[in-house]
Amino acid sequence: MDKFDVQSISPSEMPESQIQGFIEQLRYDQWAEPKNIANPTAWIFNFTRPMLQILQAGPAAQDVLLRYLDDPKIKDQIIILLGGLGDQKAVMPIIHAMADRNEARDNNYARKVNLAANLALTNITVGDVIWHHGGGITRDPCPDDPKSCWYTWWIQHADTFDISKTVSRNYSNYPSYGIYQNPGLFRSEETVIPPAG
């Protein structure tokens, strides 16, 4: 399989029907769990071809993705994609989609959903709920119940949160991709995307 280093994914014009088609393909392309490969933390996201296509759609994909958030077969992928394309509108739906303490304790997929949500919410908010901003150190005060911690954090910050004023995402915990383009800040092995058309 061809690989390349992604530094950013430029949004492109894409009709909703095409975005929906790529979302449907998520059911057939198995997504491997994101892996932390270094200390301080550095992530390989293992995005599949349809995931990369959706990221290329840019902000236009957010509303379409939100409609699929309750789909148990692709919830983990929808959440991680919202982390790259979403704004504050996606925060509470992602939190609601997370597994609670009991479900995550007994279910590997639920833990994967929560990992995707921790990564996604960290990228959207730059909140240091799980990872300390700037240090790459896991601070995770609630390893057993991240859903509750994110809910508490969002309730405290929602009224004043402005994504246009969010500090730089140039930190080692979760690099920029999708709508948060900061060329040169993100390196990960990804599948080559053929040109549209």
What integer pLDDT is reported at residue 134 of this predicted model? Answer: 52
Mean of all residue pLDDT scores within the chain? 79
What integer pLDDT is reported at residue 77 of this predicted model? Answer: 97
Q: State which of 15-24, 81-90, 161-170 shows the largest mean pLDDT.
A: 15-24
Give the pLDDT confidence of 121-152 residue by residue, as tens digits. Answer: 988 888 888 876 655 566 667 778 999 999 99
What integer pLDDT is reported at residue 144 of this predicted model? Answer: 82
- Mean pLDDT computed over 37-48: 76
Q: Is the pTM of this model over 0.75?
A: yes
> Which pairs count as long-range contacts for 110-118, CB under 8 Å and 24+ apart, including other chains?
112/33, 112/76, 113/75, 113/76, 113/79, 114/146, 114/147, 115/33, 115/34, 116/34, 116/76, 116/77, 116/79, 116/80, 116/83, 117/79, 117/146, 117/147, 117/150, 118/146, 118/150
More confident residue, 10 or 67: 67
